[in-house]
Amino acid sequence: MSVRDSLTTFLSNEPGGGLDAPVARAVLKISQAARGLSDLVSLGLLAQTGLPAIPGINGGGDAQAELDIIANDMMLDALSEAPVAMVASEELDDVALLDTGAPLAVAMDPLDGSSNIGVNMSIGTIFGIRPALYPMGSRAAAVFEAPGRAQQAAGIIVYGPQTSLVLSLGRGTHIFILDRNRGEFVLAKRDIQVPRSAKEYAINASNYRHWDPPVRAYVDDCVLGADGPRGGDFNMRWIASLVAEAYRIFMRGGIFLYPGDSRPGYRQGRLRLLYEAAPLAFLLEQAGGAATDGQTPILDLVPSSIHQRTPLVFGSVEKVERVAKYHTDPHYSAERSPLFGKRGLLRA
């Protein structure tokens, strides 16, 4: 395999059946839908405001933009031509049944970062593919009530200046770029590794007052920079598009946090375990990075419902581990900064 091989060539060389393997067929169908979606996004016709043509609320409880609904329909149409038994989508209340005897189940966020549609910023698609294994007679949703480690493949597609696919079939994480002249995704980087050291952190800092003390302490120390216990300065980034933040972290390292907070409905954060956090965690672990809910690896968590939320911390391993220490080790969350006194009061 060489850089510039097509996704089709890449998949045909994968062990376990090449292009005939169910996972390869599902990935190809998703990539074809993504090509169509990329064209639609780049035309901008649905992006004037990002507001919904027909106002609606999705299965996850968020307002839907027209493009959210179109992306969902395009992905579902594509998956109905793949060996997929069922789909759990951010845009559907319940699991959609396709070919019920087929071997795969797909969880997806058809369009992530949709608040960015109207402002011409990167948005994306997130998907995780797992075996459609469930005891006879149980609900279809039970198939998704298994840890993220059950995934066989996962990917994100970023519709940005480039349309990029970050893909793992469980043997490393690879980047493909949509080559519009060839009309297909081509391999751009094989076996990427999340850089270990980086000076960027990403968090929606407007929620500072709602965070728990360990998260405040971590961010306080980043803000203190060279004057604090970290002994060096940081940059902060917030795009409000999970796929775009993730792509930057795959390229440059760093850390992303969307913690639980004290706002009503945000105790478990904002992001969804099954179709946002778990696929990303799969890609990150395959690229030498890490993803937790603050302490526990995301891939060990079992969703109890398809739209369950989770706090999410991901990026370079050492940084993610450091955040966990702020939750468990008083040495990290206290005494190491001039803000100690304030923190002590907060924790009391």
We find the least distance from the C-beta atom of residue 109 to Mg ion, in angstroms, to be 4
CA atoms within 13 A on the CB side of 272: 27
The answer to the question of whether 339 is labelled as a binding residue is no
Q: What is the rounded distance in angstroms from the CA atom of residue 59 to the CA atom of residue 80?
A: 20
Contacts of 120 (CB under 8 A, 6+ apart): 44, 47
Instruction: Collapse the DSSP code of 135 into the 3-class scheme (helix H, G, I; strand E, B; otherwise coil) and give the result.
Output: coil
The answer to the question of whether 68 is labelled as a binding residue is no
Residues 99-138: x where in contact with Mg ion by CB under 5 A, - otherwise, as a string? ----------x-xx--------------------------
Q: What is the DSSP letter of 272?
A: B
Number of residues near ligand FBP (by CB under 6 A): 12
Number of residues near Mg ion (by CB under 5 A): 4
Tell me whether strands 96-97 and 104-112 are parallel, antiparallel or unpaired. unpaired
Please check whether residue 127 is in contact with residue 148, taking contact to mean a CB–CB distance below 8 angstroms: no
- Which pair of tokens denotes residue 58? 């999705």
We find the least distance from the C-beta atom of residue 125 to ligand FBP, in angstroms, to be 10
Q: Which is nearer to ligand FBP, 85 or 203 (CB)?
A: 203
Q: What is the rounded distance in angstroms from the CA atom of residue 19 to the CA atom of residue 51?
A: 39
Residues 48-67: x where in contact with ligand FBP by CB under 6 A, - otherwise, as a string? --------------x-----
Please check whether residue 304 is in contact with residue 178, taking contact to mean a CB–CB distance below 8 angstroms: no
Q: What is the rounded distance in angstroms from the CA atom of residue 66 to the CA atom of residue 35?
A: 18
Binder among 112, 220, 285, 293 for ligand FBP (CB under 6 A): 112
Binder among 64, 89, 114, 333 for ligand FBP (CB under 6 A): 114
Binding of ligand FBP by 242 (CB under 6 A) = yes
The answer to the question of whether 318 is labelled as a binding residue is no
Binder among 32, 65, 79, 90 for Mg ion (CB under 5 A): 90
Binding of Mg ion by 245 (CB under 5 A) = no
CB-count burial class (<10 Å; 0-12, 13-18, 19+) for 304: exposed
Only segment of 36-44, 45-53, 181-189, 238-246 that touches ligand FBP (CB under 6 A):
238-246
Of 246, 320, 235, nearest to 280 by C-alpha is 246
**Rule CB under 6 A: which residues touch ligand FBP?**
62, 90, 109, 112-115, 204, 240-242, 270
Q: Give binding residues for Mg(2+) as ranges.
A: 90, 109, 111-112, 276
